A and B are shown apart, each in its own frame.
Chain A
Amino acid sequence: MAEFFRDLAGPSRRTWLHALIFVFGACAASATLPQDYPSRPIRIIVPFPGGGTADLLARQIAQTMSEALRQQVLIENRTGAGGNIGADLAAKSKPDGYTLLMGTVSTHAINPNLYAKMPYDPVKDFAPVTMVARMPNLLVVHPSVPAKNVAELIALAKARPGALAFASAGNGTTQHLAGELFKKMAGVDMIHVPYKGNAPAVTDLVGGQVQVMFDNIPVSLQQVRAGKLRALAVTGPVRSPVLQDLPTVAEAGLPGYSITSWFGLYAPSGTSPQIIARLKKVHSGDIIIAHLNKPASDTGRGMAQGLQALVDQGFSFVRLDASDVRPPQKRI
């Protein structure tokens, strides 16, 4: 038995030493030579489940990044606690440029105002790399609701307080906050009905169980086109390119109203400015937009198709010069 343990301990001690040398070596390299970046695969933590909006966006840009940096870019889904678990993991990772976070309006603006205890600080713990995409929500109603525009909806809600119900994908989602902001600014009363995610909420909206929703564009746009829902307005500050005819809520009766979902790429704070600059360059909306217009390769063509689909569903990719990631707004 003792012999067995000695045998086990012998090589393993040596292996540990090698590992240590390797780790220190790697640290030294990454600390002193950011110009070699990236010398190994980069991981992007997505704090939401696979197949969701944040995940799809991250997988799309991982491909773009991978081509530009000539290095593998891996996606790691770390879900839970409304995105806090994944964001916290990224915040506490080594700031060497090899761990990035696909942050969203939830992880960096809503959650800090919603959760009593936050495991990370959305401003101090992160170095913003770039804004990736934005998307307004869409104010939709069931066709049986008599209101044909925002003013009529406000009038209807005022005439019968509490008679209308609005669905959301859960407490503290943009759908919920858009509804609450609407209630507050219009001075009306509607019942909030939270669901677990978008799909069941839209199902009940199309089925007429609830009457109103401030939904993400991709899901409800198709129902609007099929005549199963009626769109009244978009919630963003400007009209959506995919729904040019539709006014914003602000235009249609509530000046100053604005709710936008956004997605941004973050590095842990302390990441070297050179690395951030390098990432900014390959990661900006410009490259994505260029990809959309003129895909460089076979993968590029496949990707352009996917990116175009996201654009068709109401996403707008953000150009680098137009805006950087701004600090979270505490207004909500």
Chain B
Amino acid sequence: MELLANLQLGFEIALTLQNILYCLVGVFLGTLIGVLPGIGPVATIAMLLPATFTLPPVSALIMLAGIYYGAQYGGSTTAILVNLPGEASSVVTCLDGYAMARQGRAGPALAIAALGSFFAGTVSTLILAMFAPPLAEIAFKFGPAEYFSLMVLGLIAAIVLAHGSLINAIAMILLGLLLGLVGADTNTGQFRFTFGLPQLTDGIGFVVVAMGLFGFSEIIANLERRAKREVVMAKITSLFPTRDDLKASWKAVLRGTGIGALLGILPGGGATLGSFAAYALEKKVAKDPTRFGKGAIEGVAGPESANNAGAQTSFIPLLTLGIPTNAVMALMIGAMTIHGITPGPQVMTERPELFWGMIASMWIGNLLLVVLNLPLIGIWVKLLSVPYRILYPAILLFSCIGVYSLNNSAVDVALALAFGFLGYLFIKFDCEPAPLLLGFVLGPMMEENLRRALLLSRGDPTVFVTRPLSLALLVAAAALLVIVVVPAVRRKRAEAFQE
């Protein structure tokens, strides 16, 4: 019953008027920056850090955390409405979310994203409260070999993402891997494909590629369709999901929550994998996988739940160990520092009010987000009826501001435009950008961990199969490959026989 006492302590702190207010400010700001394409939580939190000097530490951290998971919510809004993924995790939301929007079902897509996220947030907050310390230990079981095997599994799952040709999907993944090579090599410090440009030494930014390939190219392609240029192709039917929608998505929400919560704990890119993995799983378990990419509501519900569950559980290594899992968590460490809290394994015991207060506030924040977002759906959907000659320039402008604000770099904006034209070519050639992006994100991590694992094993490649966790992941990857490839091969053979 210690848990109840702790949760009570947490809610006593989180439910003070002041802290509810800061939580609301946080999630509201988060939603706002999430909706603005390209402007992410990292820049926002960095800018707001000094403003929190005068606040009590708990209030400050509650607000900053709210910005983070609020942005996750907001990010899915632009992904669904205008095909602009602000973060790696919302790329897959674009696939079916935007398809739904074009069918006039933006409302149900947004609603299911919000409800799924709320459910995932609730469950993972509970997980965080009950099992944070033992779960944190998982992070230490994952060495370079395990990460490599996890990335292999992720890349094979990337093939499942595509709904068109298998060959095209593999080609796009390989192209993504190549793009991921740009920049300084972590192991040797050598520059690769930087063409002497200092702006390329840290690689190409994810947002730059995603904005170009998804958002910009979609706008170019839309301009070409002279007859129907509006974003929404069909009449908007209803704002809220129907009974059938809910029936179709509740299992997806459950599965997404599980996957997302688990992967969110892993430092080093686990959280990014969550939404991809959830999408791949939904497509595999679906009775009719061909619906995916054409507006399947499970394709929104699963990844969105995974995304939010991961956003919550990625706080576990931070709060229990003082180790950040991503750039936002690194900023949270900075925030704790300037508030006189030294992040580390002792925070839980020395500052229980902070630890439990933050956990309780996350649940409250998720509740506030649903309350905030459900009424907003109507407004968002109305946004789509804005004429394209106003909407498109506005999207382009905000995207450019967002891309520029990442590094205050004009080179990034130019690159995003170049990727926009490339993306247009991809649409023409019927190549889907989602597998490319996954290759782009996972490739560098895979290479880094492969080489690090070999460095640590002194060049012995058996390390990947002698470590049990790594072996298990590789076996799963092999099994997935068989599941993906065998039906395709069989189909080919069937076609051959018919001829």
A interface residues (Cβ-Cβ under 8 A, vs B): 49-52, 55-56, 59-60, 62-63, 76-82, 84-85, 88, 114, 117, 119, 162, 165, 170-172, 191, 193-197, 199-200, 202-204, 206-210, 218-219, 221-223, 225-226, 228, 298-299, 301-303, 305-306, 308-310, 312-313
Q: Which of B188, B327, B340 contacts A171 (CB 8 A)?
A: B188
**Known interface pairs A56-B338, A308-B340. Does A171 touch B455 (Cβ–Cβ under 8 Å)?**
no
A153 and B377 CA atoms in complex are apart in Å by 62
> In the bound complex, do residue A302 and residue B54 qualify as a contact, i.e. CB atoms below 8 Å apart?
yes
CB distance from B58 to the nearest CB of A (A): 14
B201 at the interface (CB under 8 A from A): yes
> In the bound complex, do residue B143 and residue A199 qualify as a contact, i.e. CB atoms below 8 Å apart?
no
A13 and B388 CA atoms in complex are apart in Å by 32
**Known interface pairs A78-B407, A119-B198. Does A165 touch B339 (Cβ–Cβ under 8 Å)?**
no
The stretch that binds A, out of B38-46, B250-258, B481-489, is: B38-46
24 A-B residue pairings within 8 Å (CB atoms): A51-B46, A51-B334, A55-B334, A77-B407, A80-B201, A85-B409, A165-B456, A171-B187, A191-B455, A191-B458, A195-B186, A199-B267, A203-B267, A203-B317, A207-B142, A207-B143, A219-B322, A223-B345, A302-B53, A305-B339, A306-B338, A306-B339, A309-B342, A312-B342
**Cβ–Cβ < 8 Å partners of B452 in chain A:** 193, 195
Given A81-B201, A208-B140, 17 more contacts at CB 8 Å?
A: A51-B333, A52-B334, A80-B409, A82-B201, A85-B199, A88-B198, A170-B189, A171-B184, A171-B188, A206-B323, A207-B142, A218-B337, A222-B343, A222-B346, A225-B344, A226-B344, A303-B53
**Cβ–Cβ < 8 Å partners of B433 in chain A:** none
A88 and B199 CA atoms in complex are apart in Å by 12
B141 at the interface (CB under 8 A from A): yes
A202 and B335 CA atoms in complex are apart in Å by 20
CB distance from B95 to the nearest CB of A (A): 29
A206 and B139 CA atoms in complex are apart in Å by 10
Residue-wise interface mask of B (48-89) relative to A, using a CB-CB cutoff of 8 A (1 in contact, 0 not): 011001110000000000000000000000000000000000
> In the bound complex, do residue B46 and residue A50 qualify as a contact, i.e. CB atoms below 8 Å apart?
yes
**Cβ–Cβ < 8 Å partners of A119 in chain B:** 198
Q: Which of B43, B198, B322 contacts A50 (CB 8 A)?
A: B43
**Known interface pairs A203-B323, A207-B140, A226-B344. Does A81 touch B338 (Cβ–Cβ under 8 Å)?**
no
Tell me the count of chain B residues lying within 8 A, CB to CB, of chain A.
59
> In the bound complex, do residue B53 and residue A306 qualify as a contact, i.e. CB atoms below 8 Å apart?
yes
CB distance from B458 to the nearest CB of A (A): 7
Contact count A vs B, C-beta below 8 Å: 167
**Cβ–Cβ < 8 Å partners of A84 in chain B:** 198
A165 and B144 CA atoms in complex are apart in Å by 14
> In the bound complex, do residue A51 and residue B327 qualify as a contact, i.e. CB atoms below 8 Å apart?
yes
> In the bound complex, do residue A209 and residue B144 qualify as a contact, i.e. CB atoms below 8 Å apart?
yes
A52 and B332 CA atoms in complex are apart in Å by 10
**Cβ–Cβ < 8 Å partners of A62 in chain B:** 50
A51 and B408 CA atoms in complex are apart in Å by 16
**Known interface pairs A50-B45, A225-B344, A305-B339. Does A202 touch B334 (Cβ–Cβ under 8 Å)?**
no
**Cβ–Cβ < 8 Å partners of A302 in chain B:** 53-55
**Cβ–Cβ < 8 Å partners of A81 in chain B:** 198-199, 201-202
B453 to A, closest residue via Cβ: A209
A224 to B, closest residue via Cβ: B344
> In the bound complex, do residue A52 and residue B198 qualify as a contact, i.e. CB atoms below 8 Å apart?
no
B245 at the interface (CB under 8 A from A): no
> In the bound complex, do residue B144 and residue A309 qualify as a contact, i.e. CB atoms below 8 Å apart?
no
**Cβ–Cβ < 8 Å partners of B49 in chain A:** 50-51, 59
Q: Which of B45, B143, B267, B321 contacts A51 (CB 8 A)?
A: B45
**Known interface pairs A195-B186, A199-B267. Does A80 touch B199 (Cβ–Cβ under 8 Å)?**
yes
CB distance from B463 to the nearest CB of A (A): 11
> In the bound complex, do residue B53 and residue A63 qualify as a contact, i.e. CB atoms below 8 Å apart?
yes
A59 and B48 CA atoms in complex are apart in Å by 11
**Known interface pairs A81-B201, A85-B198, A209-B143. Does A305 touch B340 (Cβ–Cβ under 8 Å)?**
yes
A54 and B368 CA atoms in complex are apart in Å by 35
CB distance from B473 to the nearest CB of A (A): 16
CB distance from A17 to the nearest CB of B (A): 26
